[in-house]
Structure 1
Amino acid sequence: MRVYIFALALLISGAASAQTSPVGVSDRPKLVVGIVVDQMRQEYLYRYYNKFGNDGFKRLMGSGFMMKNAHYNYAPTYTGPGHASVYTGTTPAVHGIIGNDFYNKKSGKMVNCVEDSLQKIVGAPSGNGDVSPWRMQSSTVTDELKLFTQKRAKVIGLSFKDRGAVLPAGHMADAAYWFDSGSGRFISSTYYMSKLPEWAEKFNGLNLPEKYLSQEWNTLLPIEQYTESGPDDSPYEKKYSGKTKPVFPYNLPQMRKQNGNYELLYMTPFANDFLTEFAKTAFVNEKMGKDDVTDFLCISYSTTDAIGHAVGPNAIEVEDTYLRLDRNIADLLKTLDKEVGPGNYTLFLTADHAVADVPQYLKDNKMPAGYFNENYASAKLNEYLNIYFPGKKLISNVSNGQIFLNHEAFQGSPKASGIDMFIVAELIGKFLMTMDGVANYYTEGVLRQGNYSDQGVKGHVIRGYHPKRSGDIVVVLEPGWFESGSIQGTTHGSPYTYDTNVPMLFYGKGIKHGTSVRYHPVTDIAPTISALLSIKYPSGCTGNPAEEVLE
């Protein structure tokens, strides 16, 4: 009897110990892969589904977990802020990346979100190597993995765009690489290294851009099968230089000279092939996922954005690019299975923003939409303000839907005061509300007093507003409107669902199978991965783990 009681006690003790024991090495994936597809709508997964193969997007959707109602929860929805938000788990109000380029109040000049004059190019004689993540004011999930593992985890970021590689990889990354269109090479900066590793030099030595640009870009399938898209010859698409119509096929050897040589690669789906080959080469040669310390590979596919801007979401070119990207994803998964092993890695896929339909296309189909001319609006606004404050330059800059007042104009005069600034801000707002396409405006005072958790458009503006970096007035346009001088092509940046609803797919170790229509902001990705890895959340994190995803 005593033996029985003793054995039972041991059994209960063991069960309690198992429930409270910390996460072991075997419970963590050997590798996390984060994929951001630039300008990808959630609806592309549905629209092109029947033409996808079984081993790419369908594999992630069917064997992983898909959030159908994932959104960006701030504006403006641009590439730099998007990548920063995915990996920091917070919004521009906290991490400070308020645009791809934004106005610097101290210098009075526009700055790039990853521009760093202290850094130099590595890997080519010249190019955009003055790059680092120093402007990002929160840690990333990749930073937290480095901190947790005493820097033993390997973290690498890859993209065609510098910001798409640098911001996800974080402040403590081992490396970040991006494409230099001048040399046709992947490069880095002195922030990470003094010279490229031997494997990267060897890869660049293959000169694959020459191979990709020596061929024709024609549709992957017979063009008549692209029924998910509009006509090939569309008045809403921009023409590549050297072509009289925006139609297939694209003779790349003939087009190179007129389209910036290697810059043309960025405008074709072969750029995704190139990046996929580089990604496979990187994690194989860096031996990522080969030991008991979790590594993190960040990949951002950029050419979807370049093509999408030029032709809009209804173009056959966009559909063909995604059908080819589906094969890239399948190729990447196959290599991960071989090198790391099925069940040993975790992958997530999302986008940095979605995209608007071409306003002229909507207008021609009796839908509400339009174009807002920012230069015209600025000129008329200055004329209007001159009536009340003659001879004064009251506006320093207009960019990213924000108006920056010239604070020096309100100093040095007995009549100048904070009241004058308040009056000017309200005058500007009232004038803007008389213009077609303007939905609303928000002054700095209103935004500072607002609620960060507000779920409406105002909340999106609040979460995108950084008190030290953003302007004095934020302007929101009507749905379907954006700032442009061309009726061809499209853009993004608004707080509306067509710009915010993006894929959020989780796959692999520790991930359930299923779908959810519950609302999740993209800021939930970083804390979800943090919870999976049992590491602390990024320093500025405002998102929460998606509990339905995790096993």
Structure 2
Amino acid sequence: MMTKRVFTILLFTFVTISSRSQEKRTINNSPKLVVGIVVDQMRYDYITRFYDRFGEGGFKRMINEGFNCKNNHFNYVPTYTGPGHASVYTGTTPQNHGIISNHWYNKFEKKMVYCASDPSVKAVGSDSDMEQMSPHRMKTTSIADQNRLHTQLKGKTIGIAIKDRGAILPAGHSANGAYWFRGKNEGKWITSTYYRNELPDWVNKFNASGQATSYFKEWNTLYDISTYVESGDDLNEFEGGYEGKKTATFPYDLAKLKDQNSGYDILKSSAYGNSLTADFAIAAIEGEQLGADAVTDFLTVSFSSTDYVGHNFGVNSKEIQDTYLRLDKDLERFFDTLDKKVGKGEYTVFLTADHGAVHVPSYLKSVKIPAGYYDSEGVKERVEELLKEKFKVDGIIENVSNNQIFFNYEVLDKNSINAEEVQKTLAHFILQQKQIDKVFTRNQLQTTNFTSGLAALIQKGFNQKRSGDVIVVHDPAVISYSKTGSTHGSGLTYDTHAPLLFFGQGINKGSTTKETHITDIAPTISALLGIAFPNGATGEVLPFVLE
């Protein structure tokens, strides 16, 4: 007859084994596919402004079935495309991953460099010398790299975007492929020899299908334009438009306008560029057999055309509204494809942006909101005159770019000029200029630990080896740009506040107004997959997002 003590031991053993079994199932229960989506230049308020116009299967599906981080921000400056994509996937800021801008001055090579350029590789699918690209300038691993390492390279990674940097930086260093769109007179998806020496059959098949050419058609509003009450007047003086059309107003005959607007490049700056990206991403799921087995794969997709349209027409335009309503439908068919090919509940998706954008300053001024345009060339001339007068020598300034001033240290050394003295002289002088809000020096950023405010954002975007010697911050809504269209780059909320949506396997349903950061995405996905964080990650896991 079983004693009470024996029964207790057996019960404890059963519960322990059951618990361990459940723990093992939970740890190993990774999705078949992780899809990371970056919508280029997407402000958070595009979700709320256009919410009632969205269908049920795109943005709303992510919100209703997943988790919405409503107070998500970039925690560094500058807010540009290259740093944004790198920060989303590495879980850290330019201070560590080294992508300090789209283009920056390389003080060692004495020239401007591009964040994805690599002269050691060649384009595949195009003969253009402009398409020599790789991720070699990014110093840390991405979440996709870590998944590759964790799965002994069995898990695939494919990166896709119209912009090369939007495809390359998210996919990381060890990707199986990254593909971007070559416009001009070619209209093809291409890659580089960093990844492979020939395009795979599925890419060649897609390029030969004529899908890109099919979008040379009329771009009119998806719905009656009179119902687009969430955006400004169609005819106004704050938009750029296309060459060959007198007004920036619907409709646009893209077939007629293409020859005056760099051929296939006109698709990039229309809503159809996103549709073409969705087409290609859907082809990649089938062509690469992504999510076809139990080993987790990664697909990174960046919708770049939202940025081109925003730069051209501005954040309050009918064009930007139509672009997002059409993107919503593209997301719906993309998610429907994932349901069919990978399986509903078998994949995980996150969606965010690489930066936001400011309202067109000329529009803001018209409604009496402080804004303006900064004459960077004029200030550069005054700065050079000041230094020549004070230090009695020419050539102290080597480069001015990205609101940073780089010194020529050969000139400083030759003339026994103290760099810190030059920093202080410039900081004091520049701060007296109109439309300047703040100035930071290299010495400040290297010797002071800023923990809050704009200073902390500047510091997290400052890379000791690659950044300049003096950093200039403009007044709110003051930009160096044309009088039409929107841009970005600041540490103000119109540039930092970006959407962050999760849905799919392992994701809770809900929302939060707790502040989250763009660098939290990679650690959170790492925790979901049970893999090592990217090697430079500084973000935190968002436990309320995960089941």
- TM-score normalised over the length of structure 2: 0.97
Q: Any idea what the Cα deviations from partners look like across 1:286-321, whole Å, max 9, x if unmatched? A: 111011100000000000000100111000000000
Q: In structure 1, what residue type is equivalent to 2:305?
A: T
* Equivalent position to 1:508, from 504, 509, 532: 504
Aligned to 1:367: 369
How does 1:66-85 map onto structure 2 within 5 Å? 66-85=68-87
Q: How far is 1:18 from its partner?
A: 3.7
Question: Which shows bigger deviation, 306-315 or 382-391?
Answer: 382-391
1:437 counterpart = 2:435? yes
State the 1:506 CA deviation.
0.2
Offset at residue 428 of structure 1 (A): 1.1
Tell me if the contact between 1:128 and 1:180 (Cα under 8 Å) persists in the aligned partners: no
* 1:21 Cα offset (Å): 3.7
Q: What corresponds to 2:520 in structure 1?
A: 524
1:100 and 2:102 are equivalent in the alignment: yes
CA distance in 2, matches of 1:489, 1:119: 35
What root-mean-square deviation, in Å, do the aligned CA atoms of Structure 1 and Structure 2 show?
A: 1.2
Aligned equivalents of 2:292, 2:68: Cα separation in 1: 28
Select 1:465's aligned residue among 462, 465, 468. Answer: 462
Return 294-303 or 421-430, whichever deviates more. 421-430
In the TM superposition, residue 373 of structure 1 has moved relative to its aligned partner by 1.1
Cα deviation, residue 424, structure 1: 1.4
What do residues 75-134 of structure 1 show as CA deviations (whole Å, max 9, x unaligned)?
000000000000000000000000000000011100000111100000122253311101
The CA deviation at 1:7 is 3.4
Q: Residues 23 and 534 of structure 1 are in contact (CA less than 8 Å); yes or no, is this contact kept in structure 2?
A: no
**Structure 1 position 65, deviation (Å):** 0.2
TM-score when scaled to structure 1? 0.97
Kept in 1: contact 2:72–2:516 (CA 8 A): yes
Q: In structure 1, which of residues 171, 175, 195 is the aligned counterpart of residue 198 of structure 2?
A: 195
CA distance in 2, matches of 1:528, 1:112: 29
State the Cα deviation string for residues 346-393 of structure 1 (Å, max 9, x = none).
000000000011111111111111111111110111122221123421
Alignment partner of 1:34 out of 36, 42, 45? 36
Contact kept? 1:443, 1:472, Cα under 8 Å: yes
* Cα shift at 1:20: 5.1
Counterpart position of 1:10: 13
Q: Which amino acid aligns with 1:254?
A: K
Inter-partner Cα distance in structure 2 for 1:239 and 1:325: 20
Give, in angstroms, the shift of residue 451 of structure 1.
Answer: 2.0
Change beyond 3 A, Cα 1:127–1:52: farther
User: 1:436 Cα deviation (Å)?
Assistant: 1.1
Aligned equivalents of 1:320, 1:36: Cα separation in 2: 18
Deviations 1:370-426 (A, max 9, x none): 11111111011112222112342110111111110111111234xx14xx2222111
Corresponding residue for 1:240? 242
Once the two structures are TM-superposed, the CA of residue 24 in structure 1 deviates from its matched residue by 4.7
Match status 1:544 vs 2:523: no
- Asked if 1 retains the 8 angstrom alpha-carbon contact of 2:161 and 2:301, the reply is yes
Query: How far 1:253 moved relative to its partner?
Result: 1.5
Confirm or deny: 8 A CA contact 2:38 2:352 kept in the other structure.
yes
Q: Give the Å deviation of 1:455.
A: 2.2
Partners of 1:9 and 1:423 in 2: how far apart? 72
Deviates more, 1:249-258 or 1:514-523: 249-258
Select which of 479, 483, 502 maps to 1:482: 479
SS in 1 for 2:212: helix
- What is residue 88 of structure 2 aligned with on the other side? 86
Distance 2:289 2:312 in 1: 38
Partner of 1:154: 156
Specify the code of the residue in structure 1 equivalent to 2:254.
Answer: L
Deviations 1:1-31 (A, max 9, x none): 2463453133232244246547554x11000
The worse-fitting range, judged by mean Cα deviation, of 396-405 and 382-391 is 382-391
Structure-2 separation of matches of 1:463 and 1:9? 51
Q: Is the 8 A contact 2:40 2:81 kept in 1?
A: yes
Query: For the Cα contact (< 8 Å) 2:387–2:393, is it kept in 1?
Result: no
> Structure 1: 5+ residue runs without aligned partners?
none
Separation (CA, whole Å) in 2 of partners of 1:126 and 1:480: 37
Aligned-partner Cα distance in 2 for 1:38–1:127 = 25
